[in-house]
Amino acid sequence: MGQIQNPVKDYWSTETYATAVPFAPHLADTLVQSIEFDRTDRVLDIGCGDGKFTTSFAPSVNYVLGVDSSPSMINTAKTLEYGGAATDFRVVDCRHLEEDAEVMNGNWDKVTSNAAFHWILKDPSTRISKLENIFQSMKPGGTFFFEMCGHGNAPEKVTAFMFALVNQGVPIETAEAMCPWFYPSDVYMKNILESVGFQVKKIELYTKKQELKTFENGGGGLEGFMRLIGAQMLDILDSEERKNSAIEQICRMLRYGTTREDGSQWITHVGLRCIAVKP
């Protein structure tokens, strides 16, 4: 296995993930239910996180390798039960799958991902090569099914982050460059998947309102969500005081548009789901 040249800073913590984004591992439930698994399947799960999404299909297959850049997430994934499937989990920067020999020689029947490609595909310099690597790693006839955030996802969130950073004196160009999310349209994703050789069987954008629940201990909610998923952007600010001030402003700006009559807070989720095959 080669050396990862630019390790991804670990902004993820299993505990915070479970309270701030408990719905994320279930975003692909509909997609998973539409996939025909075989008992002999070997599956690669890219950006597997804490393994909860992996549990949704692992009992139907023979073997799963889960890869993720977060040591915290991988440590938790190693502790879950996968209904009899053999599993391995390890820390990999998935922008550079070519550096992992087992991933590339895996002979995968299926490759999957949930709620991770909008982070992993952000870097345009590795976007196409990553898809080429996935294509190469699969058996002919193999299925690539994934779910990610798509074009138009939570525009209020993106705008609030940009505004708060600019208000802290960050140039708008820097705020834009720090934005860690890539929300592609279905048309663009179909084009790039086909350009590397996949046959796209189904690809669609969908919109739904997603509740951000606050837990009794005060965790989660709009603030917990913004702090976790925006950690990378907030990192540009050089003190906890400035980060807290930005978060306070972000939540205040979002309050009006996200809060319902009963006080619950909802954000606009746009998902992109796709099923493609390697001919």
Ligand X SMILES: C[S@@+](CC[C@H](N)C(=O)[O-])C[C@H]1O[C@@H](n2cnc3c(N)ncnc32)[C@H](O)[C@@H]1O
Is 121 a binding residue for ligand X by CB under 6 A? The answer is no
**Under rule CB under 6 A, how many of the chain's residues touch ligand X?**
21
Is 100 a binding residue for ligand X by CB under 6 A? The answer is no
Is 69 a binding residue for ligand X by CB under 6 A? The answer is yes
Sheet holding 138-149, edge to edge: 86-91, 63-68, 42-46, 108-114, 138-149, 266-277, 199-211
Which member of 25, 142, 184, 271 binds ligand X (CB under 6 A)?
25
Closest residue to ligand X, judged by C-beta, is 49
Shorter beta-carbon distance to ligand X: residue 119 or 225: 119
Q: Which stretch binds ligand X (CB under 6 A): 42-50, 201-209, 210-218, 255-263?
A: 42-50
Query: For residues 184 and 61, what is the distance between their CA atoms, to the nearest angstrom?
Result: 30
> Phi/psi class of residue 2: alpha, beta or left (left: φ > 0; alpha: ψ in -120 to 50)?
beta
Is 89 a binding residue for ligand X by CB under 6 A? The answer is no
Taking Cα atoms as reference points, which of 58, 69, 57, 68 lies closest to residue 10? 69
Is 49 a binding residue for ligand X by CB under 6 A? The answer is yes
Is 53 a binding residue for ligand X by CB under 6 A? The answer is yes
Is 31 a binding residue for ligand X by CB under 6 A? The answer is no
Taking Cα atoms as reference points, which of 3, 96, 112 lies closest to residue 53? 112
Shorter beta-carbon distance to ligand X: residue 181 or 198: 181
Query: For residues 71 and 74, what is the distance between their CA atoms, to the nearest angstrom?
Result: 5
Is 230 a binding residue for ligand X by CB under 6 A? The answer is no
Which member of 20, 31, 48, 61 binds ligand X (CB under 6 A)?
48
Which member of 95, 130, 269, 273 binds ligand X (CB under 6 A)?
95
Q: Is the dihedral angle over the CA atoms 76, 22, 181, 218 positive or is it negative?
A: negative
Those residues with Cβ within 8 angstroms of residue 6's Cβ, 6 or more apart along the chain or in another chain: 93
Residue numbers at the binding site for ligand X (CB under 6 A): 8, 12, 24-25, 47-49, 52-53, 68-70, 73, 93-95, 114-116, 119-120
